[in-house]
Structure 1
């Protein structure tokens, strides 16, 4: 079970790799916000959660398995050719797509964006990073997204680059404390860790 940004590329590819190694291992992939992942783990409905947030829960073991950087998503041609990063100050006054809900990627970043003068203009708020990407594709403005969403968007033709100064973001594996992961779960976790590192270094 994972948060929506991880269900687009990282988990499908990881599960396909697991299937080649363990053809008979049963597997279900669900996408939920972090609080629902925690609930599912506590009820033993799921064995492994993957999130871009640390739930800070006493009964959940939280392990950092990869780290990336938040990315700006923009319509094709908005960034300069070969532009390596975008300064936060360059977002002052820009039209941006906002994120609703309980999973802000970086409260500190939100504070910095609100402090820009003129502040970015947010006319539309959506629920997931995939929806943010779709709104950027529709010409609704710029968006700040996780690196996994940015990777898929870049391959589809959108512009993407990291913010400067960089805003790091962790990928967490969530499991019940004192639980012993099954062989297939440990294998999947190893694969996800490898795949995430490969994606984030590309």
Structure 2
């Protein structure tokens, strides 16, 4: 039964538990923290006593987190990160410097747009401590709502009344091909020409993947060899290894070009939709506003990218779900 003791949890206990989870052993945690092994063991035991449930399974020197321990660890990580950010922000206030900034972005946008956007921001706006987190789109929304991230750059849909959406962009997906593949000689590649190839694409069925599947169906392509991945950079690495042809969003291909891979336009436009978000009704710090603008300008450098209206949830729903997901003809 949960211990209802209202005494605050000792931060050293949380640090000990987080270190054990990271190191995989009490001995390793003690080394990380510079504490004795008995001290770490006692802090974990005291934490479990305060909580009223076990965090770790113990079998001799080996330990495994319990199901409750895994769930609690996620909360501990967020709490310790928040304390670190508070310390950093306090230092920035004391020095009259820009506050610590946390940006959450999907892996493709974190790699393909965000670095160039940050490089375009004035140096006097870049804080001493800058945190960039590559997260799944669903987690980005939660991080912004919980205010553990100041800014999110994510694929759509992004429907939530607690969010301010600063811009939405649409860019056509591209095909990434090995430079020595015969299809690389074509400036525009027909989806129908992929019928005999292994196709590499993203896995999430609720975002880009359903548009790719619809496009293949319209082109009469039913691939029997598919590799799905959760990050475009992984798809590009697989292409470079000769494992197939990738249909991906253009941000990673443009922002992180890899030797041996060429990008080609598809004969059908498969829209990749993404945008910049922050918590609703919060004033934007100058650095956040600058990053939002710089990311928008960087996004528009991608081939065929255009801005869409972002003036309400209904408009967003129409943009994501109501438009024709796939249009015939070469994308502009």
Q: Same fold (TM over 0.5)?
A: yes
The two structures, once aligned, show a CA RMSD in angstroms of: 2.4
Shift of 1:67: 2.8
Contact 2:113 / 2:255 at 8 angstroms: preserved in 1?
no
TM-score (norm 1): 0.86
Give secondary structure in 1 for the equivalent of 2:133.
Answer: coil
Shift of 1:25: 5.8
Specify which of 2, 18, 39 is matched with residue 142 of structure 2: 39
> Cα deviations across residues 78-100 of structure 1 (Å, max 9, x unaligned)?
2343x332222222232112422
Q: Given the superposition, is the C-alpha separation of residues 39 and 20 from structure 1 closer, same or farther in structure 2, using an over 3 Å criterion?
A: same
Cα distance in 2, alignment partners of residues 112 and 192 from structure 1:
28
Q: Which structure would you say has the larger Rg?
A: 2
Runs of 4+ in 1 over 6 A off after TM superposition: none
- Residue 168 (structure 1) aligns with: 271
Specify which of 62, 74, 82 is matched with residue 177 of structure 2: 74
Cα distance in 2, alignment partners of residues 99 and 170 from structure 1:
14
- Residue 216 (structure 2) aligns with: 113
Please list every run of 5 or more consecutive structure 1 residues that lacks an aligned counterpart in the other structure.
none
Please list every run of 5 or more consecutive structure 2 residues that lacks an aligned counterpart in the other structure.
1-103, 306-332
Return the structure number with greater helix share. Answer: 2
Relative contact order, higher structure (CA 8 A, sep 6+):
1
Shift of 1:117: 4.3
> Cα deviations across residues 19-45 of structure 1 (Å, max 9, x unaligned)?
524244642111001110011011110
Shift of 1:55: 2.1
Give secondary structure in 1 for the equivalent of 2:105.
Answer: coil
Give secondary structure in 1 for the equivalent of 2:284.
Answer: coil
1:15 aligns with 2:118: yes
Shift of 1:9: 3.4
Specify which of 129, 150, 169 is matched with residue 232 of structure 2: 129
Q: How many residues align?
A: 201
